[in-house]
Structure 1
Amino acid sequence: MFTMKLRKASAAAAAALVLSLTATACGGGDGDNEGGSGSGGGDKIKIGIKYDQPGLGLKEPDGTFSGFDVDVATYVAKELGYDADQIEFVETKSADRENALKRGDVKFIAATYSITDERKKSVDFAGPYLLAHQDLLVKTDSDITEATDLNGKNLCSVTGSTSAENVKNDFAPKANLKENSGYSECISSLQSGTVDALTTDDSILAGFASQEQYKGQFKLAGLKLSNENYGIGVKKGDTETLNKINAALEKMVSSKAWDKAVTDNFGPANYKNEPAPKIGVIVQ
């Protein structure tokens, strides 16, 4: 009789332990949905990036990711307490970045996300972590050295981009603007000679020019037609994450990991990058 009671008690205790562990696991799941906060905040972290920008944020054919934004995001995530295999990169297109943060789809976004006063109304920005400039990409033997040289020539950019309009309105009103759905189409047109130049941020141009199939074919004109301060977007009011990311970026710069990421991703295009920007300092 005593043995039977002991077995029943042991079974009850085991059942209670299972329920307790199940409840704990469920609680950990909430942290995963929110992207986690590092150091035990969840099993994974979701980070928004671009999937179609070589040198910055690119999803490779084998499913891996590469680019400067990817390297920055990976370094930051590590400082937040996550290993590389705990990172889930989520595609966040330009038009959906603010909503992705509001919905909690991602913990933060590193996706050529220029800091502007308008965006700061709905998003908090860590950084900046890169100062880019609008520039021109031309063939290596091109005689285009100034934006005004584009008068009477063909200029390419993506549909809806403000970059080409800036050039046409402010520097070369007689340029013939050709719009394509993506930068890859513009690169093909530049390669074939259908257009004479492609314009957007120099970091994006350098990324395309650095691709193996284009090495030696293109060069950056080296113009600074605008200042683009890339920041890491976080949900409005998430000061804790914001401060942790800023600390991570400062460490990335001081440890020279930032310089290595620039060389690894933009080096082949002879990209003359600006020095690492100071946290919180926006260049107008």
Structure 2
Amino acid sequence: MKFRKASAAAAAAAALALTVTACGGDGSTDDSAGDGSGTGKITVGIKFDQPGIGLKEPDGSFSGMDVEVAKYVAGELGYDEKSITFKETKSADRETALQNGDVDFIIASYSINDERKQKVDFAGPYFLAHQDLLVRADDTSISEATDLNTKNLCSVTGSTSAQNVKNDFAKDAGLVNRGGYSECLGALQNKVVDALTTDDSILAGYAAQDQYKGKFKLAGLNLSNENYGIGVKKGSDLTAKINEALEKMVSDGSWQKVMDETFGPAGYEFEPAPKIGELK
């Protein structure tokens, strides 16, 4: 990742730091810096349980697409990696975390939609995913979403994926909500549910993990377009700054490098970088 050097004038650095502090209403950022010197702090909401997207490793480090994009964006805002605090932000807690100032921005497989835009602002999109199903590798009974009628479908509390399937494809599906995708995966493995639904990028990351290889498969259905955005507190001018960082990430080749390194090993064929401000 490339990080901006501390060459901006002091006044500009102070203004930027004040801007970020305004986003973090509880003082989650330290406005003493923000110029890449490492003395300022910024708090970023991510997922901790999504392989390939946002994962807290056993050694306490973090990996995944959202983590790398967050590092790049923070760098363009004037923060080096040591200045970033990653905070777990579950699906059901994302809007509240921004509204309360618990985090400065959220990058957590956060699909942009009209309901969420009433509560928070979004930069991006920076990635286009599609909703799909993950089923057991030996299950031949599910090849279409309509096959979920009379079956049990798992998704995470706060996510809209399962309800979308029930509303649009399988009204008789039984919905099972869990607190995290790992819990849904355990329920699928133990045959408590018949399928797990969320974005194909997330499902591919789980299926590629060593302990799950050969046990699950993607149904290969594009049930929806999921435009991933970076959430910020409503009214914050961070939105424009983050959009500039994302545009630079694409133009300098960093976006492609991150996606290749993240999804290449899983064999997941991701979409080209979306254009900032345009939803598909």
Provide TM-score, normalisation by structure 1. Answer: 0.78
Q: 2:272 maps to which residue? A: 275
Q: 2:34 maps to which residue? A: 38
Distance in 1 between the 2:195 and 2:273 partners?
28
Q: Which runs of 5+ in 2 are unaligned?
A: 1-16, 22-26
CA contact (8 A) 2:122 2:229 kept: yes
Report the AA paired with residue 247 of structure 1. E
Distance in 1 between the 2:30 and 2:52 partners?
25
Secondary structure of the corresponding residue to residue 69 of structure 1: helix
Q: 1:250 maps to which residue? A: 247
Give runs of aligned pairs for residues 90-109 of structure 1, distance below 5 A: 90-109=87-106
Q: How far has the Cα of 1:122 moved from its partner?
A: 3.1
Q: 2:24 maps to which residue? A: none
Q: How far has the Cα of 1:207 moved from its partner?
A: 2.0
Distance in 2 between the 1:159 and 1:202 partners?
18
Give runs of aligned pairs for residues 70-89 of structure 1, distance below 5 A: 70-89=67-86
Distance in 2 between the 1:166 and 1:107 partners?
29
Distance in 2 between the 1:40 and 1:257 partners?
19
1:229 aligns with 2:227: yes
CA contact (8 A) 2:132 2:219 kept: yes
CA contact (8 A) 1:35 1:107 kept: no
Distance in 2 between the 1:76 and 1:266 partners?
20
CA contact (8 A) 1:131 1:229 kept: yes
CA contact (8 A) 2:48 2:56 kept: yes
From 40, 61, 64, the equivalent of 2:61 is 64
Q: 1:6 maps to which residue? A: none
Report the AA paired with residue 39 of structure 1. D
Q: 1:149 maps to which residue? A: 147
Q: 2:203 maps to which residue? A: 205
Distance in 2 between the 1:100 and 1:196 partners?
32
Distance in 1 between the 2:121 and 2:171 partners?
36
Q: Which runs of 5+ in 1 are unaligned?
A: 1-27
Identical counterparts, % of pairs: 67
Larger radius of gyration: 1
Provide TM-score, normalisation by structure 2. Answer: 0.79
Structure having the higher helix fraction is: 1
Please, what is the CA RMSD of the aligned residues? 2.8
Distance in 1 between the 2:162 and 2:28 partners?
40
Report the AA paired with residue 170 of structure 2. A
Distance in 1 between the 2:239 and 2:132 partners?
30
| Compared CA separation, residues 35 and 67, structure 1 to 2 (3 A) | farther
- 1:79-123 superposed Cα distances (whole Å, 9 cap, x missing partner): 222211111112223333233323333221111222122322332
**Matched residue count:** 255
